[in-house]
Structures are given as structure tokens and as C-alpha cells.
């Protein structure tokens, strides 16, 4: 296999990022592994030791370079009083020294990783209690490890403050609950969860090396930041907040530390181009809004920043370097947004625009603007979809056939699968991998048991993955190849929800989830009213199933309900976690039903269960 050529705009002789990523190194875990209480590996930093060699022919050298930088791990000094643990998880954990205690920013994904990070800091910096934790935003890698550094009891007693953006808890649970099964399945592809860590497999996610596989939790904030300019002083450290909603996360903030002349950029600025639409699926992010948040940072704090650190990657030191970095990150998101709309207003479609849109040299030549995580192609499509939706105006696309039916017809029109395979092999040998992937995908959906097509498509995906500059794109291609040619390792624990997430789920969202899980066709013609009454909290809800839709009125009860279900919120949580079920709790008397048991049973049987291992690359 020939080595993959990197973009000639990139200067691989520039070693400043490596110097910055090494700067301030104090120590790391000698074992190179983080274990859980049972001795299982949660994070293996040493699994990426293969990155110490030169880039092989199976990896884009630009992505290899990014992974080499992200694979650096341990405790680092940003400046006296501000420290980071990097490389223990997808994100960084930042540790700020107050007068007597630590202030922790973004405690990673799992309690095991966060606990190991704090232990490393205490060992080398001197042990201190944690007085406050800051969640910069509502993604799991910024709060999930909370129980590894503080206890719920200390938070409830007021010993520890948890600071987060207004709306944090609702955004945290709503994204993962209502759309969680689809997102989690695709996240397995996006983060290479089922791939070996090797030059032929997962080498890093661009935004970080990978995700820890321990226990995630959530303790709700005790203080919500609501507006830009709000200031808190915690253990002698003054913090000025800047709100940044609707960009990288629905709710997010950054903050400035005047006494350190340091800025926490959260995840608005990173050492890669971020996603305006993540491939795992989420709400689309607005590049214009994103760019304006960064510009506001420059306006508010630009002249006073000596160092900027983030939730991912390594810091930036020096005011001129910080401003240059901020401006070019700002302009990358603005360029993609504005030029997508310009070309759309000329009549370009989503696919056409994404194919031709390229960053200008001044932006594309910066490593921190490269598509190691998000890509220009995907981000342009996201901005088109944000404004225009998926439809491109072509009447043929108003009501296209579903993939399987389209594939069967297309294969027939193309002369059958044998003829297609002959042509595909010729194009494969010419290196026309995108074309081959497109055509053979139709064969797989028309003939899912065609192993010749599966093998050729898998090899095609491998070539596309090896060439990809984006970590997620590489992992999608290689996971697709693996799933085509053999079973995925299904023994890897998959957790779509955690106990803490369920405990903090607002009741109205639980009933919204019931509405999502309602099998509409099975419910056709039914008209039912079901009350829920919670014996421990006093909460009430009235549900009306009609027109195959489930509507909820919180705080109400129907007098003419078919059934009223009386239970404790804690028991509802156990049902959601599949630790028990309605029938078991009814037999034990923990659930009491007034009214028609038959109607209640009929209602419950209308709820779908979601299977994680649904097909992606076959029908």
C-alpha cells in the first residue's frame, strides 16, 4: 500500500504544537492504565504506544500527528495555580488552586478516570479538598466523572459547590434520553469502540484519544450561571463567565480568571475543527452563532489573556498567539456558514456545496483548523440542513424510495450484481473508492447476503478510512468494514443511560419518552386516559392516548381515567433501568392500580423496546 499524502498546505516541520503539548509536564501514571474496582481496564494510555513510530501507510499522516499529540498523558502545569490532567479520557480535567482547596473544571467521563486524575494531582501538588466543580457544558465528557472527585453528600451539605450553565441538567438528560439509543449506536462507530487500537484500527478521535469505559454519573448543579458578565469568587479565585449557548452545546459557558490572566475556552475553541453536526447525531450547531461567541470573547477579554486552556487538547500561551488562534477558529466557522449560504443562494445543493467548499489557505494551513473531528464537508452539509432541511428542491427527491427498495431497483437497472461487481473491481483497482462504496452499498441493501460484495465493500471502506484525516470518519469506515466481514465484539458494555441520569430526569421528559416509545400503528383507534400519581413526591400526571399520540398534562388527573397508577418515583427509576418491571411491583404491592387493569396492561404493551444492535450497513 502506498503512503497517504498529506495536504501540502501543512508544514510538518513545525514542531510548536509538540513543544506546547509537552510544556509544563509534571508526572503521569507509570502503569499507563486506569482500572476499576474489579480490575477491569477503564482507560489504557499505553495502548497507544504504537503512535511513537512514524506514520504508516494505513493512516493519514496529518491524523497520525494529531493522535501523537493527543496521546501525551499526565499532569501538566498551565501556569502556577492552574493545572490539567490530559490523556486520561476524551477530555481534559482542569484543576485550579484556590486559597485552601481545588476548583475542578470538567471531571471527565467516568468516576474512575476522574479519581485517577485527582489522585495524580494530589500526589504531586499536595493534597487539598475539592470546594467547587465547574461543568462548562452538558456533554458527558464534562460531567460524567463527578462521583470520582466529590460525593453527593458533600454537595447536598454545601461543602462542595457545582456550577453550570442555566438549563444544564435538562439539556444533559434530554439529549441522551429521547434520542439516546440511535446516538449511542452511532457513537460506537464514531469513537471506534469496537476497533482494535492499532495502525490498522482506531488511532484516536481527533478531539482526544478515546473514551473511558467506567462508571458515569451526574450530580445536579447547586448554582446556575445565567448571563454573561456574572462573577463568582470561589476560595479566593474570581471567575467571570461568558455564556455561549447554541454553539458547541445547547448550554455552555466559558470563563476568565483575572488574577491568572487566564481564559477557559471550554469547547468553543479546540485544536481541531469541531462538529457543526456530530456524526453520532445531535441538534445542528450554528456556525454563525459559534463565531459570534468567539468574537465576543476577543472583545471582552482579548487584550487581557496571557494563556487560554480548554476542555480538550493543550493550552495556548502568549497574547498574540491566543488572539491569532481565536480569530482563525472564529473565521473557520463563519466561513463555512457564510459560504454555504452563498453557494446555496446560487442554487447549489447540499452535496454540491460540500464537494466544492474549501477553506482559504490562511485558515486551512493551520493544524488547529483541520478536520480531525469535524470536517468542512460535514459541517457545510450541517449549515445547509440548518437553513433548508434535507430536501434540495428536486422533485425526484420529494418522496424517494426507501433504501432497500431503491437498491433492488438500482441493481436491476445496472444489470445485476455480477455485472456491478465486475465494474466495481475495476474502479477499485483504479482507486475510485468513493464511487465503489456508493455502488456496492446498493448491492448490500439489495442482496445483504452477497459476501463477494461485502468483502469488496469492506476493503473499500478500509482504504477510505486509512486516507481519512478525521478520526471519526476513519472509525466509521473501519467499523463498517469490520461489521461487514465479521461480528462486532458485543461483550463490550453498552450503557445508554445511567442511574444518575434517570434520577435527575424531569418527569415531563419521562412522559415525553413514553410518547416516543409509543407504537403509533398499534395504538390506532384507541382512546385511553391514564393517570400517574407518585406516592413519595406528590407529583401527578394525566396521559391521554388519542389519534395514536400520547399527550401529557403535568400536575393534573383525569376524573374519567381508564386507570390510575400509584407508585414511587424511585420505583419508576428502577423500571427505567430495567432492574424490575410493572408486573413485579404490582405483585409486591409497590404499584397500585385503580381502575381497569386490562386497560393499563393494554396501554403498557404499546411501548416499544429499543434494540441497540440495529443494522446500519445492511437492511
pLDDT tens profile 573-609: 999 888 999 889 999 999 999 999 999 999 999 999 9
Look up cell 432492574; give the residue: 579
Residues 231 and 137 in one domain: yes
Q: Domain range holding 575?
A: 506-604
For 260-290, give the secondary structure using H, E and C.
CCEEECCCCCCCCCCCCCCCCCCCCCCHHHH
Residues 421 and 517 in one domain: no
Looking at the domain assignment, is residue 3 inside a domain? no
Residues 134 and 198 in one domain: yes
Residues 318 and 413 in one domain: no
Residues 540 and 406 in one domain: no
Lowest-pLDDT choice from 22-26, 237-241, 337-341, 612-616:
612-616
Q: What percent of the chain has pLDDT over 90?
A: 91
Lowest-pLDDT choice from 37-41, 259-263, 288-292, 611-615:
611-615
Q: What is the mean pLDDT of residues 60-64?
A: 98
Looking at the domain assignment, is residue 495 inside a domain? no
* pLDDT at position 498 over 90: no
Q: What is the mean pLDDT of residues 66-77?
A: 98
For residue 604, what pLDDT is reported? 93
Q: What is the mean pLDDT of residues 321-341?
A: 98
Looking at the domain assignment, is residue 380 inside a domain? no
Q: What is the mean pLDDT of residues 502-513?
A: 92
Angle between helices 433-446 and 403-413 (to 10 degrees): 110
Residues 446 and 536 in one domain: no
* pLDDT at position 375 over 90: yes
Q: Residue 254 CA to chain centroid, in angstroms?
A: 19
CATH number, domain with residue 551: 3.30.1050.10
Look at residues 296, 324, 340 and tell me which one is the last residue of a structural domain.
Answer: 340
Looking at the domain assignment, is residue 488 inside a domain? no
**Average pLDDT of the chain?**
96
Looking at the domain assignment, is residue 251 inside a domain? yes
Look up cell 385511553; give the residue: 528
* pLDDT at position 265 over 70: yes
CATH number, domain with residue 82: 3.60.15.30
Looking at the domain assignment, is residue 478 inside a domain? no
For residue 492, what pLDDT is reported? 78
Q: With bands split at pLDDT 50, 70 and 90, how would you rate the model's confidence at 487?
A: confident
* pLDDT at position 497 over 90: no
* pLDDT at position 191 over 70: yes
The conformation of residue 448, written as its DSSP 8-state character, comes to T
Kindly state the cell numbers that stand for 267: 469547547
pLDDT tens profile 416-425: 999 999 999 9
Residues 598 and 526 in one domain: yes
* pLDDT at position 154 over 70: yes
Which residues, including other chains, have CB under 8 Å from residue 83's CB and lie 6 or more apart?
A: 26, 75, 76, 77, 94, 95, 96, 97, 121, 125
Looking at the domain assignment, is residue 390 inside a domain? no
Look at residues 294, 316, 340 and tell me which one is the last residue of a structural domain.
Answer: 340
For residue 496, what pLDDT is reported? 65
Looking at the domain assignment, is residue 482 inside a domain? no
Lowest-pLDDT choice from 153-162, 167-176, 218-227, 515-524:
167-176
Residues 157 and 272 in one domain: yes
Residues 32 and 136 in one domain: yes
Please tell me the total count of domains within the chain: 3
* pLDDT at position 438 over 90: yes
Q: With bands split at pLDDT 50, 70 and 90, how would you rate the model's confidence at 452?
A: very high
Kindly state the cell numbers that stand for 595: 381502575
CATH number, domain with residue 448: 1.25.40.880
Residues 420 and 312 in one domain: no
Residues 457 and 551 in one domain: no
Look at residues 340, 358, 377 and tell me which one is the last residue of a structural domain.
Answer: 340
Residues 329 and 408 in one domain: no
For residue 178, what pLDDT is reported? 82
Q: With bands split at pLDDT 50, 70 and 90, how would you rate the model's confidence at 493?
A: confident
* pLDDT at position 449 over 90: yes
Q: What is the mean pLDDT of residues 465-469?
A: 98
Cα–Cα distance for residue pair 153/393, rounded to 1 Å: 57
Q: With bands split at pLDDT 50, 70 and 90, how would you rate the model's confidence at 499?
A: confident
Cα–Cα distance for residue pair 105/162, rounded to 1 Å: 10
Tally: H helices and E strands in the chain: 22, 21
Amino acid at each position: 500500500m502506498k503512503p497517504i499524502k498529506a495536504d501540502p498546505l501543512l508544514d510538518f516541520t513545525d514542531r510548536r504544537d509538540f513543544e506546547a503539548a509537552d510544556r509544563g509536564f509534571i508526572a503521569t501514571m507509570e502503569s499507563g492504565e486506569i482500572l476499576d474496582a474489579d480490575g477491569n481496564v477503564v482507560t489504557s494510555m499505553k495502548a497507544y504506544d504504537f503512535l511513537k513510530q512514524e506514520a504508516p501507510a494505513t493512516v493519514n499522516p496529518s491524523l497520525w500527528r494529531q493522535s501523537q499529540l493527543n496521546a501525551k498523558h499526565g499532569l501538566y502545569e498551565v501556569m502556577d495555580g492552574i493545572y490539567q490532567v490530559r490523556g486520561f479520557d476524551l477530555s481534559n480535567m482542569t484543576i485550579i488552586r484556590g486559597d485552601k482547596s481545588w476548583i475542578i473544571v470538567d471531571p471527565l467521563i467516568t468516576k474512575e478516570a476522574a479519581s485517577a486524575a485527582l489522585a495524580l494531582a494530589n500526589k504531586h501538588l499536595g493534597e487539598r479538598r475539592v470546594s467547587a466543580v465547574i461543568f462548562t457544558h452538558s456533554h458527558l465528557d464534562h460531567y460524567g466523572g463527578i462521583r470520582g472527585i466529590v460525593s453527593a453528600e458533600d454537595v447536598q451539605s454545601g461543602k462542595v459547590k457545582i456550577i453550570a450553565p442555566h438549563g444544564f441538567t435538562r439539556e444533559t438528560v434530554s439529549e441522551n434520553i429521547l434520542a439516546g439509543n440511535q446516538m449511542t449506536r452511532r457513537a460506537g462507530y464514531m469513537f471506534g469502540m469496537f476497533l482494535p487500537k492499532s495502525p490498522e484500527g482506531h488511532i484516536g478521535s481527533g478531539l482526544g484519544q478515546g473514551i473511558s469505559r467506567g462508571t458515569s454519573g451526574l450530580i445536579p448543579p447547586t448554582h446556575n450561571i445565567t448571563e454573561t458578565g456574572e462573577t463568582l469568587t470561589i476560595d479566593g479565585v474570581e471567575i467571570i463567565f461568558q455564556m455561549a449557548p447554541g454553539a458547541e452545546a445547547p448550554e455552555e459557558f466559558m470563563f476568565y480568571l483575572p488574577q491568572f490572566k487566564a481564559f477557559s475556552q471550554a469547547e468553543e475553541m479546540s485544536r481541531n475543527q469541531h462538529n457543526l453536526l456530530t456524526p453520532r447525531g445531535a441538534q445542528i450547531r450554528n456556525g454563525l452563532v459559534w463565531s459570534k461567541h468567539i468574537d465576543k470573547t476577543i472583545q471582552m477579554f482579548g487584550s487581557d489573556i496571557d494563556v487560554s486552556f480548554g476542555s480538550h487538547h493543550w493550552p495556548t500561551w502568549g497574547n498574540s498567539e491566543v488572539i491569532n488562534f481565536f480569530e482563525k477558529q472564529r473565521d473557520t466557522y463563519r466561513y463555512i456558514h457564510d459560504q454555504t449560504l452563498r453557494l446555496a443562494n446560487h442554487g447549489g445543493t447540499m452535496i454540491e456545496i460540500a464537494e466544492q467548499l474549501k477553506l482559504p489557505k490562511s485558515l486551512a494551513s493551520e493544524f488547529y483548523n483541520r478536520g480531525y473531528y469535524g470536517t468542512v464537508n460535514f459541517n457545510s452539509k450541517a449549515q445547509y440542513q440548518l437553513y433548508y432541511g434535507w430536501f434540495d428542491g428536486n422533485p425526484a427527491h420529494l418522496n424517494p424510495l426507501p433504501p432497500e427498495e431503491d437498491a433492488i431497483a438500482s441493481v436491476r437497472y445496472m444489470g445485476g450484481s455480477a455485472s456491478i461487481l465486475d465494474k466495481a473491481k475495476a474502479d477499485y483497482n483504479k482507486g475510485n473508492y468513493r464511487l465503489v462504496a456508493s455502488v456496492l452499498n446498493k448491492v448490500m441493501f439489495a442482496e445483504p447476503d452477497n459476501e463477494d460484495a461485502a468483502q469488496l465493500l469492506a476493503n473499500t471502506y478500509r482504504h477510505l478510512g486509512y486516507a481519512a484525516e478525521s478520526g471519526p470518519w476513519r472509525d466509521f469506515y473501519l467499523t463498517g468494514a469490520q461489521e461487514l466481514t465479521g461480528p462486532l465484539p458485543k461483550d463490550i458494555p453498552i450503557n445508554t443511560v445511567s442511574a444518575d441520569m434517570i434520577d435527575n430526569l424531569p418527569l415531563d421528559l419521562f412522559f415525553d419518552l413514553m410518547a416516543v416509545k409509543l407504537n403509533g400503528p398499534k395504538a390506532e383507534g384507541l382512546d385511553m386516559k391514564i393517570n400517574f400519581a407518585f406516592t413519595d413526591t406528590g407529583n401527578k400526571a394525566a396521559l391521554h392516548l388519542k389519534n395514536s399520540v400520547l399527550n401529557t398534562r403535568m400536575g393534573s388527573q383525569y376524573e374519567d381515567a381508564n386507570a390510575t397508577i400509584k407508585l414511587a418515583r424511585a420505583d419508576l427509576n428502577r423500571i427505567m433501568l430495567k432492574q424490575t418491571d410493572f408486573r413485579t411491583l404490582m405483585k409486591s404491592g409497590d404499584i397500585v392500580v385503580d381502575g381497569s387493569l386490562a386497560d393499563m396492561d393494554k396501554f403498557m404493551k404499546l411501548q416499544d423496546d429499543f434494540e441497540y444492535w440495529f443494522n446500519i450497513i445492511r437492511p
